[in-house]
Amino acid sequence: MNLPRQSRRWFLKSSFAMSGAIPLVAGLAQAKLNDTSKPLMAYVGTFSSPLQDVLETQVDLPPGNGRGIHLFQINRETGAMTPAGIHAMGTSPSCLAVNAAGTHLYSTNETDRVGKEKHGTVSSFTISKHDGSLKPLNTVSSGGAGPTYVSIHPSGRFLLIANYFGGSVAVLPILQDGQLGEATDIKNDAGKIGPTTATNAPEGSFAISGHDRTHAHMIQSDPSGRFVLHVDLGLDKIYIWKFDEKTGKLTANDPPAISLPPGDGPRHFHFHPNGRWFYSIQEEGSTIVLFDYDSEEGKLTSRQTLSTLPAEFVGSNFCSEILVSDDGKFVYAGNRLHDSIGIFSVGAKGELTYIGEEWTRGNYPRSFSFDPTGEFLYCCNQRADSVAIFQVDKATGKLKFTNQYAAVGNPSHIVFLDLSKRVD
């Protein structure tokens, strides 16, 4: 290549400058990742009644005090929540999920019907990279009535939906722009309904919730993405499905399900970080069951059952959430009516030991979540219309109330997004 002397000089200077720019660009990218001037956001799903100013379709659901999805900015040092807006919805967006890139949020809208159709819906939103605000993309059928749980498959290409009132689960494809497609698969639970008296209920318990019909309550993939598990509270079963990432289809595993004690009502579950231990919480039995999980075969083998409550407790209680800490050292279990979070240490083989409890500072703790650092736990007290904030002692697992609340009508679920770590 023959260049004039001036052009050659310019070429050499430009090449040198560009070679020096490579680490500069990398440095800028790292600086962007560490830019804590961008907010840590929290999104709270709620039970919300139809709002005539924002809702054009007819729905059928019990009254709710929420206004839709409530947005907050989180103080990284204190955990405090500052209101940052509301995305108004009257369809009870009770469960939320944010994709790994932090670009989209999805909500289950826990309605019995929309217009004359007996099903609920799922909505997709884009998330603003500047302030975390939400912009609706589309809404599709959930494949059943009362969708109560949403999770994202590890591939990022599918949503997994549990329809509580419909007794079904569905797989929805996530399109390239974040919108949702029509279901690639829907499975309807069937079988003998469990008794209205739980096998392991506390003495004097009258806890009866979901043993009137099938009730799919939670669905989530295993860490590998090869299997999908879901619970049916009314059938007292945990189902295991083989999952085809190409087609979005579910195929029954062998065996297709495992049974819990009659009437105990499995509600939620959480994998240990090692992927080998699986903890299921039973809503009416007020128990946690530890299972060994065979990730090659997708099989569960129960090994320990213990109460979520202190030994002296008698009466009615409804369990709700179960979480394993990111370091795998502790398990947290939600108790409604007792209004506590039970705290358990994890032994060398995954077995649990009860080490205490913390009052939730509100009525009916439906769910709780850790912030991204694991330093704080946020408890959605559904009937107290507030989110209570606790500091986590990572050495002991204990919770300490921060004396901070956030006012939210009928909060159901809280998720977080650190905008400083989002890379578009």
Mean pLDDT by 10 residues, the chain (424 residues): 41 39 42 68 92 46 84 98 96 96 97 80 97 98 96 98 97 98 98 96 92 97 98 98 98 98 98 98 98 98 98 97 98 98 98 98 97 98 97 98 97 97 84
pTM comes to 0.90
- Alpha helices for 240-390 (secondary structure H): none
Those residues whose C-beta lies under 8 Å from the C-beta of residue 73, and which sit 6 or more positions away, are: 39, 40, 41, 42, 81, 82, 84, 132
Domains of the chain: 40-421 (2.130.10.10)
Each as own residue / partner, the long-range contacts of residues 35-38 (CB below 8 Å, 24 or more positions apart, any chain) are: 35/420, 36/76, 36/420, 37/420, 38/418, 38/419, 38/420, 38/422
Residue 61 has a pLDDT of: 53
Among candidates 420, 413, 424, 418, which has minimal Cα distance to 151? 413
Alpha carbon of 268 to those of 124, 180, 219, 235, 424: distances in Å? 23, 25, 8, 14, 33
What are the two backbone dihedrals, phi and then psi, of residue 320, each rounded to the nearest 5 degrees?
-135, -90
CB 173 within 8 A of CB 157: yes
Give me the residue label for tokens 């929540």.
Answer: 81
Helix (H, G, I), strand (E, B) or coil at 362: coil
User: Are the CB atoms for 30 and 417 separated by under 8 Å?
Assistant: no
Please say whether the beta carbons of 267 and 231 come within 8 A: yes
